[in-house]
Structure 1
Amino acid sequence: MSAIEAKLAELGVTLSEAPAPAANYVPYVVVGDIVYVSGQISMDADGLIKGRLGYNMETAVGAKAAKTCAINLLSQVKAACGGDLDRLVRVIKLTGFVNSTADFTEQPMVINGASDFMVEALGDAGRHSRSAVSAAALPLGVAVEIEGIFQIK
Protein backbone atom coordinates (compact mmCIF):
# COMPACT_ATOMS: atom_id res chain seq x y z
CA MET A 1 0.00 0.00 0.00
CA SER A 2 1.34 3.43 -0.93
CA ALA A 3 1.94 6.07 1.74
CA ILE A 4 -0.87 8.16 0.23
CA GLU A 5 -3.27 5.22 0.29
CA ALA A 6 -2.28 4.56 3.92
CA LYS A 7 -3.22 8.16 4.75
CA LEU A 8 -6.48 7.73 2.86
CA ALA A 9 -7.19 4.57 4.88
CA GLU A 10 -6.66 6.58 8.10
CA LEU A 11 -9.34 8.93 6.76
CA GLY A 12 -11.65 5.99 6.05
CA VAL A 13 -11.27 6.28 2.28
CA THR A 14 -10.52 3.38 -0.05
CA LEU A 15 -10.01 4.18 -3.71
CA SER A 16 -12.17 2.19 -6.09
CA GLU A 17 -11.26 1.33 -9.65
CA ALA A 18 -11.09 4.47 -11.74
CA PRO A 19 -14.51 5.13 -13.29
CA ALA A 20 -14.69 4.47 -17.04
CA PRO A 21 -15.55 7.37 -19.33
CA ALA A 22 -19.24 7.75 -20.15
CA ALA A 23 -18.74 9.10 -23.69
CA ASN A 24 -16.11 9.63 -26.39
CA TYR A 25 -13.14 10.83 -24.32
CA VAL A 26 -10.33 9.38 -22.23
CA PRO A 27 -10.38 9.60 -18.43
CA TYR A 28 -6.93 11.19 -18.28
CA VAL A 29 -4.04 12.33 -20.46
CA VAL A 30 -0.42 12.26 -19.33
CA VAL A 31 1.90 14.85 -20.89
CA GLY A 32 5.39 14.64 -19.42
CA ASP A 33 4.95 14.94 -15.67
CA ILE A 34 1.44 16.42 -15.86
CA VAL A 35 -1.81 14.43 -15.66
CA TYR A 36 -4.98 16.08 -16.94
CA VAL A 37 -7.99 14.26 -15.46
CA SER A 38 -11.36 14.57 -17.15
CA GLY A 39 -14.30 15.79 -15.10
CA GLN A 40 -15.34 13.36 -12.39
CA ILE A 41 -18.98 13.48 -11.39
CA SER A 42 -20.40 13.19 -7.89
CA MET A 43 -20.75 9.44 -7.52
CA ASP A 44 -19.97 7.03 -4.72
CA ALA A 45 -20.54 3.33 -4.04
CA ASP A 46 -24.27 4.01 -3.68
CA GLY A 47 -24.50 5.62 -7.13
CA LEU A 48 -24.93 9.10 -8.53
CA ILE A 49 -25.28 12.03 -6.14
CA LYS A 50 -27.91 14.15 -7.85
CA GLY A 51 -29.33 17.51 -6.96
CA ARG A 52 -29.35 21.21 -7.64
CA LEU A 53 -27.80 23.56 -5.14
CA GLY A 54 -30.14 26.34 -4.12
CA TYR A 55 -33.15 24.24 -5.12
CA ASN A 56 -33.16 20.77 -3.54
CA MET A 57 -29.68 20.43 -2.04
CA GLU A 58 -27.96 22.28 0.80
CA THR A 59 -24.39 23.57 0.56
CA ALA A 60 -23.03 21.07 3.10
CA VAL A 61 -24.48 18.15 1.13
CA GLY A 62 -23.01 19.61 -2.05
CA ALA A 63 -19.60 19.79 -0.34
CA LYS A 64 -19.85 16.07 0.47
CA ALA A 65 -20.67 15.44 -3.20
CA ALA A 66 -17.58 17.44 -4.18
CA LYS A 67 -15.48 15.25 -1.89
CA THR A 68 -16.61 12.19 -3.85
CA CYS A 69 -15.38 13.90 -7.01
CA ALA A 70 -11.99 14.42 -5.37
CA ILE A 71 -11.80 10.75 -4.42
CA ASN A 72 -12.66 9.79 -8.00
CA LEU A 73 -9.97 12.18 -9.27
CA LEU A 74 -7.39 10.38 -7.11
CA SER A 75 -8.57 7.04 -8.50
CA GLN A 76 -7.86 8.34 -11.99
CA VAL A 77 -4.43 9.65 -10.95
CA LYS A 78 -3.64 6.23 -9.47
CA ALA A 79 -4.57 4.62 -12.79
CA ALA A 80 -2.45 7.15 -14.68
CA CYS A 81 0.49 6.25 -12.40
CA GLY A 82 0.21 2.54 -13.11
CA GLY A 83 -1.27 1.87 -9.68
CA ASP A 84 1.46 3.69 -7.71
CA LEU A 85 -0.22 6.71 -6.14
CA ASP A 86 3.06 7.66 -4.46
CA ARG A 87 4.12 9.02 -7.86
CA LEU A 88 1.75 11.94 -7.21
CA VAL A 89 3.79 15.07 -6.53
CA ARG A 90 1.02 17.63 -6.12
CA VAL A 91 -2.42 18.83 -7.12
CA ILE A 92 -1.96 21.78 -9.48
CA LYS A 93 -5.52 22.91 -10.21
CA LEU A 94 -9.12 21.86 -9.71
CA THR A 95 -12.01 23.24 -11.73
CA GLY A 96 -15.35 22.62 -10.08
CA PHE A 97 -18.78 22.86 -11.66
CA VAL A 98 -21.82 23.12 -9.40
CA ASN A 99 -25.33 22.31 -10.62
CA SER A 100 -27.09 25.32 -9.11
CA THR A 101 -29.84 27.83 -9.47
CA ALA A 102 -29.14 31.25 -10.98
CA ASP A 103 -29.25 32.94 -7.58
CA PHE A 104 -27.05 30.42 -5.72
CA THR A 105 -23.69 32.00 -4.83
CA GLU A 106 -21.99 29.43 -2.59
CA GLN A 107 -20.14 27.51 -5.31
CA PRO A 108 -16.78 28.07 -3.53
CA MET A 109 -18.12 26.51 -0.32
CA VAL A 110 -19.38 23.49 -2.28
CA ILE A 111 -16.03 22.95 -4.03
CA ASN A 112 -14.29 23.35 -0.65
CA GLY A 113 -15.45 19.77 -0.07
CA ALA A 114 -12.91 18.66 -2.67
CA SER A 115 -10.22 21.19 -1.79
CA ASP A 116 -10.36 20.47 1.93
CA PHE A 117 -10.16 16.73 1.26
CA MET A 118 -7.12 17.10 -1.01
CA VAL A 119 -5.25 19.06 1.69
CA GLU A 120 -6.36 16.66 4.43
CA ALA A 121 -5.22 13.64 2.41
CA LEU A 122 -2.07 15.07 0.79
CA GLY A 123 -0.92 17.88 3.06
CA ASP A 124 0.85 20.73 1.26
CA ALA A 125 0.94 18.64 -1.94
CA GLY A 126 -2.85 18.93 -1.96
CA ARG A 127 -2.86 22.75 -2.03
CA HIS A 128 -3.91 23.92 -5.48
CA SER A 129 -5.25 26.74 -7.60
CA ARG A 130 -8.96 26.49 -8.30
CA SER A 131 -12.08 27.69 -10.04
CA ALA A 132 -15.62 27.13 -8.78
CA VAL A 133 -18.40 27.93 -11.22
CA SER A 134 -22.13 27.48 -11.56
CA ALA A 135 -23.73 25.29 -14.20
CA ALA A 136 -27.39 25.27 -15.21
CA ALA A 137 -27.21 21.47 -15.45
CA LEU A 138 -24.60 18.72 -15.23
CA PRO A 139 -24.44 15.25 -16.80
CA LEU A 140 -27.00 12.76 -15.50
CA GLY A 141 -28.36 15.39 -13.09
CA VAL A 142 -25.38 15.16 -10.73
CA ALA A 143 -24.72 17.92 -8.22
CA VAL A 144 -21.00 18.43 -8.87
CA GLU A 145 -18.35 17.71 -11.50
CA ILE A 146 -14.65 18.44 -10.97
CA GLU A 147 -11.68 18.15 -13.32
CA GLY A 148 -8.08 18.29 -12.18
CA ILE A 149 -4.49 18.84 -13.19
CA PHE A 150 -1.80 16.96 -11.25
CA GLN A 151 1.99 16.68 -11.28
CA ILE A 152 3.54 13.21 -11.06
CA LYS A 153 7.06 11.81 -11.01
Structure 2
Amino acid sequence: MTSSVEQRLTAMGLELPADWAPRGQFLPFRRDGAVVYLSGQICEWDGEVTHTGPVSDTPEGIEAAHKAAQTCALNLLYRLRDACGGDLDRVDMILRLGGFVNCASGFGQSPAVINGATELFIALFGEGGWHARTAVGVCGLPGNASVEVDAIVRLKS
Protein backbone atom coordinates (compact mmCIF):
# COMPACT_ATOMS: atom_id res chain seq x y z
CA MET A 1 0.00 0.00 0.00
CA THR A 2 1.35 3.40 -0.98
CA SER A 3 0.80 6.36 1.34
CA SER A 4 -1.14 9.39 0.12
CA VAL A 5 2.09 11.37 0.57
CA GLU A 6 3.87 9.07 -1.88
CA GLN A 7 0.90 9.32 -4.27
CA ARG A 8 1.24 13.14 -4.21
CA LEU A 9 4.97 12.75 -4.81
CA THR A 10 4.31 10.56 -7.85
CA ALA A 11 1.71 13.04 -9.15
CA MET A 12 4.44 15.70 -8.96
CA GLY A 13 6.66 13.52 -11.18
CA LEU A 14 9.05 12.75 -8.32
CA GLU A 15 10.15 9.56 -6.61
CA LEU A 16 12.06 8.46 -3.57
CA PRO A 17 15.61 7.24 -4.12
CA ALA A 18 16.89 3.70 -3.86
CA ASP A 19 18.66 2.80 -0.61
CA TRP A 20 22.26 3.94 -0.24
CA ALA A 21 25.11 3.65 2.22
CA PRO A 22 25.79 6.69 4.43
CA ARG A 23 29.09 8.51 3.91
CA GLY A 24 29.91 8.41 7.61
CA GLN A 25 29.35 6.46 10.80
CA PHE A 26 25.97 7.66 12.08
CA LEU A 27 22.31 6.70 12.27
CA PRO A 28 20.07 7.97 9.46
CA PHE A 29 17.50 8.91 12.11
CA ARG A 30 16.78 8.72 15.82
CA ARG A 31 13.28 8.56 17.29
CA ASP A 32 12.32 9.95 20.68
CA GLY A 33 8.65 9.15 21.16
CA ALA A 34 6.75 10.92 18.40
CA VAL A 35 9.73 13.08 17.36
CA VAL A 36 12.13 11.94 14.63
CA TYR A 37 15.54 13.57 14.23
CA LEU A 38 16.77 13.02 10.67
CA SER A 39 20.49 13.18 9.94
CA GLY A 40 21.61 15.60 7.26
CA GLN A 41 21.21 14.43 3.69
CA ILE A 42 23.22 15.78 0.80
CA CYS A 43 22.11 16.04 -2.83
CA GLU A 44 23.09 12.49 -3.68
CA TRP A 45 21.29 10.06 -5.99
CA ASP A 46 22.36 6.52 -6.90
CA GLY A 47 25.64 7.03 -5.03
CA GLU A 48 26.59 10.17 -6.95
CA VAL A 49 26.51 13.78 -5.79
CA THR A 50 24.13 15.49 -8.22
CA HIS A 51 25.26 19.09 -7.64
CA THR A 52 28.69 20.09 -6.42
CA GLY A 53 29.64 23.32 -4.73
CA PRO A 54 30.30 26.02 -4.16
CA VAL A 55 26.99 27.40 -5.43
CA SER A 56 27.45 30.29 -7.85
CA ASP A 57 25.64 33.53 -7.11
CA THR A 58 23.87 33.58 -10.49
CA PRO A 59 20.24 32.82 -11.35
CA GLU A 60 21.36 29.54 -12.95
CA GLY A 61 23.50 28.57 -9.96
CA ILE A 62 20.72 29.33 -7.49
CA GLU A 63 18.17 27.41 -9.60
CA ALA A 64 20.47 24.36 -9.73
CA ALA A 65 21.07 24.54 -5.96
CA HIS A 66 17.30 24.89 -5.38
CA LYS A 67 16.92 21.57 -7.25
CA ALA A 68 19.73 20.10 -5.15
CA ALA A 69 17.82 21.06 -1.99
CA GLN A 70 14.78 19.21 -3.36
CA THR A 71 16.98 16.13 -3.84
CA CYS A 72 18.08 16.45 -0.20
CA ALA A 73 14.40 16.54 0.80
CA LEU A 74 13.68 13.37 -1.19
CA ASN A 75 16.54 11.65 0.63
CA LEU A 76 15.12 12.87 3.96
CA LEU A 77 11.71 11.48 3.00
CA TYR A 78 13.24 8.10 2.24
CA ARG A 79 14.78 7.91 5.73
CA LEU A 80 11.62 9.35 7.29
CA ARG A 81 9.57 6.59 5.67
CA ASP A 82 11.76 4.07 7.51
CA ALA A 83 11.22 5.96 10.78
CA CYS A 84 7.44 5.81 10.15
CA GLY A 85 7.40 2.05 9.63
CA GLY A 86 6.93 2.53 5.88
CA ASP A 87 3.93 4.91 6.10
CA LEU A 88 4.59 8.62 5.47
CA ASP A 89 0.94 9.34 6.28
CA ARG A 90 2.04 9.00 9.94
CA VAL A 91 3.79 12.40 9.68
CA ASP A 92 2.01 15.05 11.73
CA MET A 93 4.28 17.98 10.95
CA ILE A 94 7.74 19.02 9.91
CA LEU A 95 9.02 20.93 12.94
CA ARG A 96 12.36 22.23 11.69
CA LEU A 97 14.73 22.12 8.73
CA GLY A 98 18.40 22.95 8.84
CA GLY A 99 19.81 23.92 5.46
CA PHE A 100 23.47 24.23 4.56
CA VAL A 101 24.69 25.72 1.29
CA ASN A 102 28.27 25.23 0.07
CA CYS A 103 29.18 28.76 -1.03
CA ALA A 104 31.73 31.55 -1.04
CA SER A 105 31.87 34.14 1.69
CA GLY A 106 29.22 36.80 1.22
CA PHE A 107 26.70 34.56 -0.58
CA GLY A 108 23.28 35.86 0.45
CA GLN A 109 20.93 33.47 -1.35
CA SER A 110 20.93 30.53 1.08
CA PRO A 111 17.20 30.98 1.88
CA ALA A 112 16.28 30.83 -1.84
CA VAL A 113 18.31 27.63 -2.20
CA ILE A 114 16.80 25.86 0.83
CA ASN A 115 13.33 26.79 -0.42
CA GLY A 116 13.77 23.77 -2.72
CA ALA A 117 13.33 21.50 0.31
CA THR A 118 10.75 23.70 2.05
CA GLU A 119 8.49 23.86 -1.00
CA LEU A 120 8.48 20.08 -1.36
CA PHE A 121 7.51 19.51 2.27
CA ILE A 122 4.69 22.07 2.03
CA ALA A 123 3.44 20.49 -1.22
CA LEU A 124 3.38 17.05 0.38
CA PHE A 125 2.17 17.83 3.91
CA GLY A 126 0.19 21.06 3.47
CA GLU A 127 0.00 23.08 6.69
CA GLY A 128 1.96 20.33 8.43
CA GLY A 129 4.83 20.95 6.02
CA TRP A 130 5.47 24.50 7.26
CA HIS A 131 8.45 24.55 9.64
CA ALA A 132 11.00 26.61 11.50
CA ARG A 133 14.24 26.75 9.53
CA THR A 134 17.82 27.84 9.23
CA ALA A 135 19.57 28.42 5.91
CA VAL A 136 23.27 29.06 6.26
CA GLY A 137 26.27 29.24 4.00
CA VAL A 138 29.25 26.99 4.70
CA CYS A 139 32.65 26.53 3.10
CA GLY A 140 32.29 22.81 2.40
CA LEU A 141 30.02 19.77 2.63
CA PRO A 142 30.53 15.98 2.32
CA GLY A 143 31.38 14.93 -1.23
CA ASN A 144 31.68 18.63 -2.12
CA ALA A 145 27.88 18.63 -2.33
CA SER A 146 26.28 21.99 -2.96
CA VAL A 147 23.52 21.48 -0.36
CA GLU A 148 22.74 19.47 2.79
CA VAL A 149 19.46 19.48 4.73
CA ASP A 150 18.48 17.89 8.06
CA ALA A 151 15.06 17.79 9.72
CA ILE A 152 13.09 17.28 12.90
CA VAL A 153 9.63 15.76 12.40
CA ARG A 154 6.72 14.93 14.67
CA LEU A 155 4.64 11.82 14.00
CA LYS A 156 0.95 11.38 14.73
CA SER A 157 0.17 9.67 18.02
Q: Structure 1-normalised TM-score?
A: 0.93
Please list every run of 5 or more consecutive structure 1 residues that lacks an aligned counterpart in the other structure: none
Aligned-residue offset at 1:44: 2.6
- Give the fraction of aligned pairs with identical amino acids, expressed as a percent: 37
The equivalent of 1:52 in structure 2 is 54
Local SS of the residue matching 1:113:
helix
Q: Aligned-pair RMSD on alpha carbons?
A: 1.7
Amino acid at match of 2:143: L
Q: Which 4+ stretches in 1 moved above 6 angstroms?
A: none
The equivalent of 2:36 in structure 1 is 35
Please list every run of 5 or more consecutive structure 2 residues that lacks an aligned counterpart in the other structure: none
Amino acid at match of 1:124: E
Matched, 1:5 2:6: yes
The equivalent of 1:149 in structure 2 is 152
Matches within 5 A, 1:4-153: 4-45=5-46, 47-48=48-49, 49-54=51-56, 58-153=61-156
Local SS of the residue matching 1:20:
coil
Tell me if structure 1 keeps the 8 A contact 2:20–2:46.
no
Local SS of the residue matching 2:93:
strand
Amino acid at match of 2:4: A
